[in-house]
A and B are shown apart, each in its own frame.
Chain A
Amino acid sequence: MTLVDVFVAFCFLLGGVAAFFTAFHPNILYAAIALIGSLVSVAGLYGALGADFLAAAQLIIYVGGILIVILFAVMMSEDIYKRRFFQDAKKFVVPAVAAAVTFAGFAKITLSANWSNATKPDFEPTARAMGWALVGPYALVFQYVVVVLLSGLIGAVVIARPAVKMRQLDEELEKMGED
């Protein structure tokens, strides 16, 4: 049992507990804070698996970026603080059953498979290899993701701002024609 094993076990534990609270905590603010725990633990596991670049990306983008956005959204709507667990305990019954069945399915598949021919991992810095992959075999996928990111951002802007009325546009064009 090495130090890495202890670290991985700690990450499992932290991630599991945090994920539990994320799902069930009555106050959504605490749930969001618990989500930080599970995301950090996933970053730790990335590190333990030798994915140094991903671990950093996970910390920077997820924990640093996305969670801030979530917390911001939580803070914005104040009636969130009042919502209690037991008020919608009933609503959790069906999802919990469904999730349990799903988990059981995954677990059974995992445990029934034969994993004996696993390779021994070799740990090297991955940033260079990933960079080459992004401009090599994954170049088109990368460009596609870029376009999706751009359109997603534009879409977000369009959704968040008040709609322009079609009639208003007509009037403006009318005016341009008269000039």
Chain B
Amino acid sequence: MAGLATHLPAYLIFSAMLFSFGLIAALGRRSTIGIFMGVELMLNGAGLNFVAFQTLRAGVIANDNWLHGHIFALFVIILAAIEAAVALAIVLRTFGTRQTIEADRADELRG
């Protein structure tokens, strides 16, 4: 376990794992909130990826000190906040009109 903190593949595998669990939740959960939680997990996996690359491979990626990875992770967080606001609004609305938040029931757009 020596040097785990600076071992890039460990972070990448972990973020892939977060992404995969998020995918399962997003695809398998019945409720809208469950799907939304899965999406949050996936976003977190991606954000962690950015930061890990920035810290451990910065000199290889770009020759400046602008912290590109951190900025992108920050944008991910901000966009997740927006998403949370909109998602809550949608949940409220669906719950108000249908008395359920199951995603399967909202299928008016089916072909």
CB-CB under 8 A for A119 and B16, given A48-B5, A76-B92, A149-B81: no
Interface size on B, residues (CB 8 A): 77
CB-CB under 8 A for A126 and B33, given A23-B25, A24-B24: no
Asked if residues A31 and B18 are in contact (CB atoms below 8 Å), the reply is no
Compute how far the CA of A95 lies from the CA of B78 in the bound complex, rounded to whole angstroms.
28
Compute how far the CA of A4 lies from the CA of B2 in the bound complex, rounded to whole angstroms.
10
Using C-beta atoms within 8 Å of the partner chain, give the interface range for chain A: 35 or more
Identify 25 residue pairs between A and B in the complex whose beta-carbon atoms are under 8 Å apart, listed by A's number: A1-B1, A9-B1, A19-B22, A22-B25, A28-B31, A32-B37, A35-B37, A50-B55, A51-B54, A51-B73, A53-B70, A69-B88, A70-B84, A80-B31, A80-B101, A83-B31, A102-B23, A103-B19, A110-B13, A119-B59, A133-B71, A149-B78, A152-B82, A152-B86, A160-B89
Query: Which residues of chain A come closer than 8 Å to B6, judged between CB atoms?
Result: 118, 120-121
One digit per residue, 1 when the CB lies within 8 angstroms of any chain B CB and 0 when it does not, for chain A 1-39 equals 110110111001001100110111000100110010011
One digit per residue, 1 when the CB lies within 8 angstroms of any chain B CB and 0 when it does not, for chain A 123-134 equals 000100110111
Interface of A is mostly: helix
